[in-house]
Amino acid sequence: MNRSFEKSNKMLGRALEIIPTASQTFSKSHLQYPKGHAPMFIERGLGSRVWDVDGNEYIDMVNGLMAVSLGYNDPDVNRAVMEQLSKGICFSLPSELEYELAQLLVEIIPCAEMVRFGKNGSDATSAAIRLSRAYTGRDKVAVCGYHGWQDWYIGSTARHLGVPQPVRALTQTVPYNDLEALENILKTETYAAFILEPMNVELPRPGYLEGIRKLTESTGTVLVFDEIVTGFHYALGGAQEYFGVTPDLSSFGKGMGNGMPIGAIVGKKEIMKLQDDIFFSGTFGGEALSLAASIAAIKKMKREPVIKQLWSFGGRLSAAVEKVIAANGLGDVLSLKGLDPWKVLSFSGRGDVSAMAVRTFIQKEMIAQGVLLLSSHNMSYAFTEGDHVAVVSAYEKTLDALASGLKRGTLVAEMGCPVIEPIFKVR
Ligand SMILES: Cc1ncc(COP(=O)(O)O)c(C=O)c1O
């Protein structure tokens, strides 16, 4: 199908004049999509589908970067938000909703004895780091994965522009699944916290998560699981429930409000109680629409087989895509990593075609087939049997074209758009 992106492109030009990158999120910006061959702005969503400003329809495999766990316009979440809207959004005192949601999280998340709320994932991870520093009286932190935009973390990546060197020096990156590397740094210096995504693309080696639990305990380091992606996807109680290893603190965000802006820091009472004194405070921390949305979303996840379905549809999709990859002899350039609710596409180069050229081509072709794809399968509860068939068929056409382009040696020349540049690589 021939898609026009005329309005998108026009709007992009205008937006770039007054909004840097024309987006509030790097991964949603024009920098991450094939220029001229992708929508730049979305107008609305329903279930598993979105419509761009030119009226093109897509099956959305991005789902608001995993914030939309139930699907767009979910009736239960909408009802809760609308009921709350008629009562008020931001009050002058806390509302009962805070207690209700905190109680739900304490019930379902293994490490959660106390809970505080923020507006996004970075609020929750940053609160965890400040808490850990206050609790241990130590400054340095060890990190593994992606943890948000704040200085203490982003200073450790290639996107550290604007972060002072003394702040950068306090954060140490540790490779995943490498117990020895962690042991080496924890033995050499004292660390306030080790924060990690309990899993992203690699499965934890047997004993790894148990090993870091023991090591952090024996060195007095706070163990923080960043469950902003794994939470409300792997299991209702997150990766800590799924893998059976309980951290001291944990951060949640993304899927907990089905797209409403909410995050949570949860953990052991002994550490969380310090928030009586340390400053984690904001005008909108108890904003009621997001709390109501999150209560409705989590209740639905408890009532209906939401997580089970993320696994089953995600698993069927990755199995089918892996078959298409094999049938086209593309195993050397494309593979799927991670667990079924969140499979990450891993790209490699072939000859003088780079990994990012492969990614750009795949995104472009999938979008042309009506599938909005970034670089992972972010499953939502709204994904249907029909969506499965359509996405697999889009992959068949896309990977057939990729194989022919690679064989002809003309892939990049015929692509018609520049190769996408990576933001930075932490996964
Ligand atoms: C694992 C992880 N931690 C933290 C964050 C930061 O969350 P937010 O963008 O909501 O601040 C993200 C966002 O992508 C994430 O994936």
Domains in the chain, number: 2
Return the pLDDT at 426: 66
Question: Would 79 be classed as within a structural domain?
Answer: no
Q: For residue 111, is pLDDT > 70? A: yes
- Give CA separation, 379 vs 43, 74, 315, 327, 340, in Å: 21, 15, 10, 24, 8
Query: Is the same domain home to 136 and 225?
Result: yes
Query: Is the same domain home to 44 and 132?
Result: no
Return the pLDDT at 424: 72
Q: For residue 250, is pLDDT > 70? A: yes
* Residues 282, 240: Cα–Cα separation, whole Å: 28
* CA 125 to ligand 1 center in whole angstroms: 8
- Name the closest-CA residue to atom 3, ligand 1: 147
Query: Is the same domain home to 194 and 256?
Result: yes
Mutate which of 23, 65, 125, 143 to test ligand 1's pocket (most atoms within 8 Å of Cβ)? 125
Question: Would 281 be classed as within a structural domain?
Answer: yes
* CA 409 to ligand 1 center in whole angstroms: 38
CA 134 centroid distance within chain: 28
Return the pLDDT at 307: 98
120 Cα nearest atom in ligand 1: 10
Question: Would 148 be classed as within a structural domain?
Answer: yes
Q: For residue 390, is pLDDT > 80? A: yes
Query: Is the same domain home to 410 and 318?
Result: yes
- Give CA separation, 292 vs 99, 102, 119, 242, 286, in Å: 11, 12, 14, 26, 10
Return the pLDDT at 96: 98
Query: Is the same domain home to 16 and 134?
Result: no
Return the pLDDT at 2: 79
Query: Is the same domain home to 310 and 269?
Result: no
* CA 104 to ligand 1 center in whole angstroms: 22
Query: Quick one: average pLDDT of 352-361?
Result: 97
* CA 362 to ligand 1 center in whole angstroms: 25
Mutate which of 26, 32, 122, 149 to test ligand 1's pocket (most atoms within 8 Å of Cβ)? 122
Identity of residue 107: E
Write the CATH number for 341: 3.90.1150.10
Return the pLDDT at 417: 95
Query: Is the same domain home to 57 and 94?
Result: no
Question: Would 209 be classed as within a structural domain?
Answer: yes
253 Cα nearest atom in ligand 1: 10
User: What is the domain range of residue 16?
Assistant: 6-72+306-415
Structure tokens at 271: 């550490």
Question: Would 241 be classed as within a structural domain?
Answer: yes
Q: For residue 1, is pLDDT > 70? A: no
Predicted TM-score (pTM) of this structure: 0.97
Structure tokens at 385: 């049997």
Query: Is the same domain home to 197 and 132?
Result: yes
Return the pLDDT at 423: 80
Orientation of helix 96-108 relative to helix 288-303, angle to 10°? 30
Orientation of helix 288-303 relative to helix 306-327, angle to 10°? 80
Query: Is the same domain home to 199 and 235?
Result: yes
Query: Is the same domain home to 161 and 45?
Result: no
Confidence of residue 71 (pLDDT cuts 50, 70, 90): very high
Query: Quick one: average pLDDT of 151-164?
Result: 96
Q: Is the CB of 255 under 6 A from ligand 1?
A: no
Q: What is the mean pLDDT of the chain?
A: 97
Give percent above pLDDT 90 in the chain: 98
- Name the closest-CA residue to atom 7, ligand 1: 121
* CA 25 to ligand 1 center in whole angstroms: 11
Q: For residue 425, is pLDDT > 90? A: no
Confidence of residue 427 (pLDDT cuts 50, 70, 90): low
Q: Is the CB of 120 under 6 A from ligand 1?
A: yes
Query: Quick one: average pLDDT of 125-146?
Result: 98
Write the CATH number for 243: 3.40.640.10
- Name the closest-CA residue to atom 4, ligand 1: 147
Query: Is the same domain home to 261 and 359?
Result: no
Query: Is the same domain home to 320 and 173?
Result: no
> Of 235, 255, 286, which residue is a domain's last?
286
263 Cα nearest atom in ligand 1: 10
* Residues 35, 135: Cα–Cα separation, whole Å: 48
